[in-house]
Amino acid sequence: AQSVSQHNHHVILSEAASLELGCNYSYGGTVNLFWYVQYPGQHLQLLLKYFSGDPLVKGIKGFEAEFIKSKFSFNLRKPSVQWSDTAEYFCAVNPYTSGTYKYIFGTGTRLKVLA
Amino acid sequence: DTGVSQNPRHKITKRGQNVTFRCDPISEHNRLYWYRQTLGQGPEFLTYFQNEAQLEKSRLLSDRFSAERPKGSFSTLEIQRTEQGDSAMYLCASTTSTGELFFGEGSRLTVL
């Protein structure tokens, strides 16, 4: 069955530190990839998405992610985090070429940024 | 507000009671999804609709759970004979064929 793994469950950083959150998925076909963010008390919002083309995608608030097909990875990065980035981050995969349009989410990474 | 709307936002019920949640998607979105989220976990897929057709259901969705989208617009998720293990946040999301999911605020269920 398709799955998504996020290996970092809790991350604590100081402001201005660099961030990289890992995401790996298990499906050999073509996929659409997403990172969502959930700020405290708010609903899930899209950070960025990859459908095709340039494997380095840029999203909102200075976030970017790199799709590495050979590694089945879609890691999220930000060069310098801010206190306002404190949130939970979810990687998601839509393995649409498998005949399903469901979206599979990872378990999430809870990020805390210390001021 | 033209986003995804879910009601009620919070429901407290006693074990064995039935509950129903409603989701109003973004109007032009033809696909509607239901997910369940518990503390420390990511959203877990339950089911999805394309227009009024329910195209896929998770094997995790027991026969106590039923979802409908009668006219291809709003959707309801009903849980019969609730159990304490049903306590969770129930999320609704919608999308067009282009693929980005738009989520509602969620409906939190607490089963006592």
- What per-residue confidence (pLDDT) applies to B72? 84
- What per-residue confidence (pLDDT) applies to B64? 95
- Give A-chain residues touching B56 at CB under 8 angstroms: 100-102
- What per-residue confidence (pLDDT) applies to B60? 77
- Give A-chain residues touching B60 at CB under 8 angstroms: none
pLDDT digits (tens, 9 = 90+) for A61-102: 999 999 999 999 999 999 999 999 999 999 999 988 777 888
- Tell whether A67 is within 8 A of chain B (Cβ): no
- A28 falls in which pLDDT band (50, 70, 90)? confident
- What per-residue confidence (pLDDT) applies to A96? 81
Suggest the residue from A44, A89, A91, A96 to mutate for an interface test with chain B (most B CBs closer than 10 A). A44
Give the span between the Cα atoms of B87 and A106, in whole angstroms: 20
CA dihedral B81, B84, B85, B87 (to 10 degrees): 100
Give the span between the Cα atoms of B60 and A82, in whole angstroms: 38
Q: Which stretches in chain B have pLDDT values below 50? A: none
- What per-residue confidence (pLDDT) applies to B2? 73
Quick one: how far is CA A48 from the chain centroid? 8
Measured between alpha carbons, how far is residue B103 from residues A13, B2, B25, B38, B94 in Å? 28, 12, 9, 16, 7
Residue identified by tokens 């469901």 is: A102
What are the residues facing A76 on neighbouring strands?
A: A21, A65
Are B105 and A106 within 8 A, CB to CB? no
Give the span between the Cα atoms of B52 and B72, in whole angstroms: 4
Average pLDDT, chain A: 93
